[in-house]
């Protein structure tokens, strides 16, 4: 019974988030400067009929409620509406790019966690952690994602996976180092080390179970960070994913595509947020 109530609450919250995403994104796009202008109106190659059509489109866009009803109607039909730029159903644009973005995120997260865990285990286990382990992470945190991607592109070295992995690893390392450092100094862990228990046994029996909720929370934050880096990484490296599609849609005022991508990311963040909430249940299981 409790599981059904929890599932119903999560479903209701997800639906509320989706509706807020639709309303908020539509309002932000509609109220953005320059929304009711189009470069094609100044192009002499377009006939008067085409310019009149663009003017009618701008006039229809004056009503925010009408725009909301149009977008919700597209989702009710199951195609998320028609792309203004490409003239095809939005889901046809998103479906192949979703696999590209998903693969990029999975590879980046796996590499980032491998780097962060390896570095934090070495840096936190010693008696006197040195600046050698902190300086690289601090430098990486100070470099913007777009700048890092541009440097890799100009140097013809690395790629989107490496850039996103370094970005995520630098953020995760800071948290993991502090968490593991505190765990290594717990009295029962110090007692176990004094008794000569192997490091591997201490990690699996004492440290990992103690910090599992924090790791689950960090994993959800890593997904959010990866989503925020998608647009600059995919645009600079010309990766045909959701980030590049979102950039093109923003440049062309393609509201249905922007809404669909925003909702996909909102759902991903919502699902990722479930991990910290149920970390204690998984730990006890």
What are the boundaries of each domain within the chain?
2-77, 98-256
Report in angstroms the alpha-carbon separations of 35 from 55, 253, 254: 12, 7, 10
Q: Please tell me the predicted confidence (pLDDT) of residue 197.
A: 80
pLDDT greater than 50 at residue 102: yes
- Say whether pLDDT at 103 is over 90: yes
CB 26 within 8 A of CB 68: yes
Q: What is the pLDDT of residues 178-199, one digit of tens each?
A: 888 888 778 877 777 777 788 7
What pLDDT does 282 receive? 45
List, for residues 28-81, the tens digit of each pLDDT value. Answer: 777 776 666 665 566 666 556 556 666 666 665 556 676 667 666 766 776 677
- Does residue 279 register a pLDDT over 60? no
98-256 CATH pick, 3.40.710.10, 1.10.3720.10, 3.90.1170.10, 1.10.645.10: 1.10.3720.10
Distance of alpha carbon 208 from alpha carbon 174, whole angstroms: 17
For all residues of the chain together, what is the average pLDDT?
Answer: 77
In 164-280, the DSSP E strands lie at none
What band does 278 get if pLDDT is binned at 50, 70 and 90? low
| CA–CA dist 100, 140 (Å, integer) | 25
- For residue 154, CA distances in Å to 139, 150, 247 come to 19, 6, 21
């Amino acid at each position: 019974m409790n599981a059904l109530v929890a599932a119903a609450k999560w479903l209701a919250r997800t639906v509320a988030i989706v509706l807020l995403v639709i309303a908020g994104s539509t309002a932000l796009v509609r109220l953005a400067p320059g929304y009711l202008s189009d470069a094609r109106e100044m192009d002499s190659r377009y006939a008067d009929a085409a310019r009149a059509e663009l003017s009618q489109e701008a006039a229809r866009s004056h009503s925010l409620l009408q725009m909301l009803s149009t977008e919700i109607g597209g989702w009710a039909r199951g195609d998320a509406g028609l792309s203004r730029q490409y003239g095809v159903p939005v889901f046809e644009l998103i479906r192949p790019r979703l696999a590209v973005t998903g693969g990029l995120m999975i590879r980046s997260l796996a590499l980032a966690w491998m780097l962060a865990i390896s570095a934090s285990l070495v840096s936190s286990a010693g008696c006197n952690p040195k600046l050698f382990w902190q300086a690289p992470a601090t430098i990486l945190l100070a470099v913007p994602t777009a700048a890092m991607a541009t440097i890799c592109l100009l140097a013809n070295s690395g790629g989107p996976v490496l850039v996103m992995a370094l970005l995520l690893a630098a953020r995760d390392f800071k948290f993991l180092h502090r968490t593991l450092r505190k765990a290594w100094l717990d009295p029962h862990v110090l007692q176990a080390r004094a008794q000569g228990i192997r490091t591997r046994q201490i990690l699996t029996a004492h440290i990992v179970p103690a910090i599992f909720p924090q790791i689950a929370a960090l994993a959800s934050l890593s997904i959010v960070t990866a989503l925020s880096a998608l647009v600059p990484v995919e645009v600079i490296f010309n990766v045909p994913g959701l980030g590049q599609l979102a950039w093109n849609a923003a440049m062309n005022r393609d509201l249905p595509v922007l809404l669909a991508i925003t909702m996909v990311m909102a759902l991903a963040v919502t699902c990722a947020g479930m991990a910290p909430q149920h970390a204690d249940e998984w730990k006890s299981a």
